[in-house]
Amino acid sequence: MIDRFKEADTQVLGVSIDSKHSHKKWAESLGGVSYPLLQDFHPKGSMATSYGTYLENKGFAARSTVIVDKQGSVRYSVMANGERIITELLNECQKING
């Protein structure tokens, strides 16, 4: 559905505190991914901290979905509880950019 997100004027990104080497291995294990993977590696978790998803006591970020508008404001944020429902996320993006 990456084309549908592009039609909604949205850029899908994956972000984690893991290194680019971990990202590469993870993407390869899935047979590739169709969106860029960004590392929040150093300083560790600074992006996740700014979104309130870094779990300092555990040393990693909670699985989350954050939608940021073109002005840089968080418009949608939810902790991921299992699998994400892509059509719901697409609807959120369409509301924000519609």
Which pTM value belongs to this model?
0.77
Q: Where are the alpha helices (DSSP H) in 30-98?
A: 46-50, 86-97
Query: Per the CATH hierarchy, to which homologous superfamily does domain 2-97 belong?
Result: Glutaredoxin (3.40.30.10)
Q: What is the pLDDT of residues 10-60, one digit of tens each?
A: 999 989 999 989 999 999 999 999 899 999 988 999 999 998 899 999 999
What are the structure tokens assigned to 60, written together?
Answer: 């990693």
What are the structure tokens assigned to 56, written together?
Answer: 């300092």
Distance CA 13, CA 11 (A): 6
